[in-house]
Amino acid sequence: MESVDGFAEEAERYRHELRVHCYRMLGSYDDAEDVVQETLLRAWRGRDGFEGRSSVRAWLYRIATNACIDVRRPRRVLPYHLEPASFPAIALPPREDVPWLQPFPDVLLDRAAEPDAVAIRRETIELAFLLAIQHLPPRQRAVLIFRDVLGWTARETAEAVDLSVAAVNSALQRARPVLREHLPSHRADWSARDTTESERDLLRRYVTAWDNADPAALAALMHEDIRITMPPYPFWFEGIDDAIRSLTPNLTPAFRGHWRFHPTTINHQPTLAAYLKPPTTNTYTLFALDIFRIEQGKIAEITAHETTNHKLFGLPAPYLASA
């Protein structure tokens, strides 16, 4: 094995892509961070046993994958996986005990392109894909990620997940139909799509409709079966009528305060970072990330993740209303 300093430098090169891999496996940014730390620690302790029969990268992926499989937690969900709540549900308190699917900062995705030029593609990092693969058992999930996301061979995958090549091929055949079953109905497949100018324009029209307090204009941008979720609150709204009923009170500053939106991307999806200035203050503070799934030119889903951590997502700090 190379020198201690050389090993540390080599292993550190893969931190960002290992974080993305663990995030795909676990659906949790926090858990992915923990598992990557554990992976690098296990690698450090076992470095003398590394015989060089595979690359350091493949060895680290194997350690990370097994560490993810060892995480014994329920699959990550969004509120519509729970029992439905009747409207109005806004009075329900947040559920911190539920393993919610977490967003991943694009500012970190930009650092994580794999050395072999496999892109961090939008269709394999967006929330719909991550929710779909959560329906797979962990080892099947790993097989699908290695084969269909990272493009590894069956033999390379077998070594990474401690299976035979035949078992890898069988697991992949079982995993693909489950994936397609749980992808959104508006999507025919999970082929790559970049954020388009038309999607950015749709978000501009959404903000204009919000600023004009125009529920009808908001409704015109939505699919009939739009779904809005607000983790960690255990409720959701489905269909234009309930969606607009849930949003309309917020159009009036007296209800909660005044909103400003900053366009960004999270999980490679078009996103509006929602900043709120309550009536009693003069400061806008990050309140939530409104992550949009746009299909066929209209909004199919809004996932509003409540957060104040602007630094993690590369967003503006709280600022005065006059700024």
* Mean pLDDT, rounded, for 210-224: 97
Count of C-beta atoms within a 10 Å radius of residue 237: 25
Do 31 and 22 meet the contact criterion of CB atoms below 8 Å apart?
yes
Task: Write down the residue that tokens 């806008």 correspond to.
Answer: 284
Helix (H, G, I), strand (E, B) or coil at 96: coil
Do 277 and 323 meet the contact criterion of CB atoms below 8 Å apart?
no
Q: What is the dihedral of CA 18, 195, 266, 264, to 10 degrees?
A: 130
Q: How far apart are CA 240 and CA 222, in angstroms?
A: 7
Residue 240's closest CA among 224, 256, 229, 253?
Answer: 224
Question: Exposed, middle or buried, 272 (CB in 10 Å: 0-12/13-18/19+)?
Answer: buried
Q: How far apart are CA 22 and CA 194, in angstroms?
A: 23
> pLDDT above 70 covers what percent of the chain?
88
Count of C-beta atoms within a 10 Å radius of residue 8: 14
pLDDT tens readout for residues 166-203: 999 999 999 999 999 998 875 544 454 556 889 999 99
Q: How confident is the model at residue 119 (pLDDT cuts 50, 70, 90)?
A: very low
Do 260 and 275 meet the contact criterion of CB atoms below 8 Å apart?
yes
User: End-to-end alpha-carbon separation of the chain, Å?
Assistant: 55
Please report the pLDDT score of residue 71 as a whole number.
Answer: 92
Lowest-confidence range among 87-91, 121-125, 318-322? 87-91
Please report the pLDDT score of residue 117 as a whole number.
Answer: 41
Cα–Cα distances in angstroms (integers) from residue 211 to residues 187, 215, 240, 251, 273, in the given order: 30, 10, 19, 8, 15
pTM of the model: 0.90
Q: How confident is the model at residue 97 (pLDDT cuts 50, 70, 90)?
A: confident
* Mean pLDDT, rounded, for 149-163: 94
Residue 18's closest CA among 1, 35, 42, 43?
Answer: 35
pLDDT tens readout for residues 241-277: 999 999 999 999 999 999 999 999 999 999 999 999 9
Contacts of 75 (CB under 8 A, 6+ apart): 27, 99, 134, 135
* Mean pLDDT, rounded, for 235-239: 89
pLDDT tens readout for residues 291-307: 999 998 999 999 999 99
Please report the pLDDT score of residue 5 as a whole number.
Answer: 63
Which is more confidently placed, 212 or 5? 212
pLDDT tens readout for residues 41-81: 999 887 777 766 778 889 999 999 999 999 988 889 998 87
